Amino acid sequence: MNIRKYFKILLIAFFTSQSIYSNYSEKSETVEFINYMVLKHGYEKSYLESIFQRAEYQEKVVRIMNKQPEGTMTWERYRGIMVNESRISAGKEFIISHKQDLKRAEKIYGVPAEIIASIIGIETRYGRIKGNIRVIDSLSTLAFDYPRRSKFFKIQLEEFLLLSKEENFNPEKIKGSIAGAMGYGQFMPDSYRDYAVDFDNDGVRDILNNPIDAIGSVANFLNKKGKWKPNVPIAMKAKAVSKIKEIKSSFKPYMTSMELKKFGLEASEAIPGNLKFVPISLDLEDGYEYWLGFDNYHSISRYNRSKLYVMAVFEFSNSLSKFLK
């Protein structure tokens, strides 16, 4: 084959592949989305087209989204990653620096300071790992090239563009996680709009760079969306006393203490009042670990619907509580 012709074919193939992934403005779904944003929110069509011309497909976003730890990782391994001496040490530093802000958030929103600190530590190691993918890229990839959850991510893309306008962000500069979560507490765009607060009263809701706003915002999220209940436990250890019935996949408490023994479990201590709970089974290398999750277990699950995540937040908070005394 003529060498010039060969390179011409290579160039055509290269630019064709780039247009599939890089120029989102030409995809039919994106055109439909742009028209929707123009009609519903009054955006300039040319402005959105220019943003999506520069948005880039992220293959690793799809790859990682398809490999979530739930169902593939034991509780021991997950806990070892999320609750370790390094993270506890970082948590101690954060609490020493922000104890007054954490206590103030607890007083206003009713969410324990150690839970707030635990979530920020689990999410980003107190701002050290906030994500390095442009949010416009991750959300465009998931909205237009991830059919399994495209509906959800189109909503988040809409929310992100609205958030950028409201908070005067450049949508092409903001970076976050593979799923488009942002800042110290890894808020999705809709949560940023609905629950972020200006906790230091400087006139800006900045959870991207301001740990004080992040503290108030995490507490506000758990209070409002999570419906946090003060003085209600999160979880209690349990043990198997007979053959366990099949555990329903649920985060919302539905079982009473009267039903527990029939189910095959026994609580490690007396269950307070008439509280309902959900039985939890955690996979170990050899066997299972059993817990009972109460209303505030459900509250934390509104942040991340993973029982491993909720239990890591709970255990990590227990390790941090001593630094708040």
> H/E/C letters for each residue in 69-93?
CCCCCCHHHHHHHHCCHHHHHHHHH
Question: Contact, 26 vs 144, CB < 8 A?
Answer: no
Phi, psi dihedral angles at 16 (to 5 degrees): -65, -45
H helix runs in 135-188, sequence order:
135-144, 150-167
Helix axes 307-320, 75-82, angle to 10 degrees: 50
Question: Which of 106, 123, 158, 159 is the catalytic position?
Answer: 123
Could you tell me the two tokens for 138? 């991750």
Q: How far is CA 48 from CA 45, 58, 116, 162, 171, in A?
A: 5, 19, 36, 12, 10
Amino acid 29: pLDDT:
95
Amino acid 8: pLDDT:
46
Amino acid 16: pLDDT:
37
Question: Contact, 144 vs 30, CB < 8 A?
Answer: yes
Question: Contact, 313 vs 119, CB < 8 A?
Answer: yes
Active site includes 123? Answer: yes
Domains of the chain: 235-324 (1.10.530.10)
| Mean pLDDT in order along the chain per 10 residues (325 residues) | 48 40 84 98 97 96 83 89 97 98 98 98 98 98 96 98 97 98 98 98 97 98 98 96 86 93 92 92 94 98 96 98 96
Amino acid 132: pLDDT:
97
Amino acid 299: pLDDT:
98
